[in-house]
Amino acid sequence: MHAERSRQPGTPARAIDVNSDVGELPDPLIDAQLMELITSANVACGGHAGDHSSMLRVCRLASDHNVAVGAQVSYPDREGFGRRKLDITPEALHAAIARQFEELTEAARSADTQVRYIKPHGALYHAAIDDPGTAEAIVGLADTYRVPLLTLGFGELRQRADHAAIPVFYEAFIDRGYQPDGRLTSRGEPGAILDDTAALDRLNAWVQHDFHGAHSLCVHSDTPDAVGLTRKVRRALAAHDLDVRSFIGGPYDR
């Protein structure tokens, strides 16, 4: 398994993944509708949201729709929905996200599927860009369970995963604004959440540049009308003659 595809500059990608966060909202219909449109599902596994029942439900949906299951591990912060950076040691963080991964693994097994990758959630996702201890805790989890990571294409997490020979796949966010340095615009700031027109205009531009190396495109399930936006994304990708399939090929086997 390779984290880079072979490409020629300026040549559109032949395939792209579409991922979304599932199992974290009170309305199960959103998960069911998204599962018909996405190819990889980042499943909330108890840190910021989710419980055994929701994990089992979305894993069954993923299995039914041939969608790859990923563990969306987070700070243990249900009150803050995982969007607050916690003061927690790397050791305690590793223990917390390992419990989350194991709970999702149990649910996936019951649904006749498996956990194929790890994607951090919220504040943990962003902390792993800069904080070595946070990045190391996540890399340690990926190494223990032999699964790749889905994240941005730069920062501590990427570098430490590369050093540990753990595959890293890169994602771009359909519905979020970016800063000039490649980081996401903080929620609550102007331009943090794009409307559908702006999101699709940028998507069409990304296609011409092979998505700037991204392997996956993310639409957050709590973005207003996420299902409608994801349908539009799928239509746009089809118009560009792009296949939509998971970035995950086979099991992580070093």
Is residue 4 situated within a structural domain?
no
Higher pLDDT, 22 or 10: 22
Indicate whether 140 pLDDT > 60: yes
Tally of structural domains, the chain: 1
In this predicted structure, what is the pLDDT of residue 6?
36
The pLDDT assigned to 119 comes to: 98
* Residue 103: pLDDT over 60: yes
Q: Is the pLDDT of residue 253 over 50?
A: no
In sequence order, the 6+-apart residues with CB closer than 8 A to the CB of 187 are: 83, 193
**The predicted structure's pLDDT at residue 182:** 92
Mean pLDDT of the chain: 92
- Backbone phi and psi for residue 129, each to the nearest 5 degrees, phi listed first: -70, -40
Question: So what's the pLDDT on residue 188?
Answer: 85
The answer to whether residue 254 is domain-embedded is no
Q: Mind listing the pLDDT tens digit for each residue in 143-181? A: 999 999 999 999 999 999 999 999 999 999 999 999 999
Return the closest-CA partner of residue 120 out of 54, 47, 177: 47
Domain assignment of residue 249, yes or no: no
For the chain, the three-class secondary structure string (H helix, E strand, C coil) is: CCCCCCCCCCCCCCEEEEEEEECCCCCHHHHHHHHCCCCEEEEECCCCCCCHHHHHHHHHHHHHCCCEEEEECCCCCCCCCCCCCCCCCHHHHHHHHHHHHHHHHHHHHHCCCCEEEECCCHHHHHHHHHCHHHHHHHHHHHHHHCCCEEECCCCHHHHHHHHCCCCEEEEEECCECECCCCCECCCCCCCCECCHHHHHHHHHHHHHCHHHHCCEEECCCCCCCHHHHHHHHHHHHHHCCCEECCCCCCCCCC
| Residue 251 resides in a domain | no
* Residue 151 included in any domain: yes
pLDDT of residue 2: 34
Q: Does this model's pTM top 0.85? A: yes
* Residue 201 in this model has a pLDDT that exceeds 60: yes
- Write the CA distances from 2 to 18, 20, 69, 251, integer angstroms: 18, 22, 19, 12
Domain that holds residue 91: 15-244
5 falls within a domain: no
**The pLDDT of residue 14:** 80
Report which of residues 248 and 229 the model is more confident about.
Answer: 229
How far apart CA 241 and CA 32 sit, in angstroms, is 26
What is the C-alpha separation between 18 and 213, in angstroms, rounded? 14
Q: Which CATH number fits the domain that encloses residue 222?
A: 3.20.20.370
Confidence band of 13 (pLDDT split at 50, 70, 90): low
β pairing state of 40-44 and 15-22: parallel
- Report the sign of the C-alpha dihedral through residues 77, 82, 87, 88, in that order: positive
Asked if residue 3 belongs to a domain, the reply is no
pLDDT digits (tens, 9 = 90+) for 204-236: 999 999 999 999 999 999 999 999 999 999 999
In a domain, 7, yes or no: no
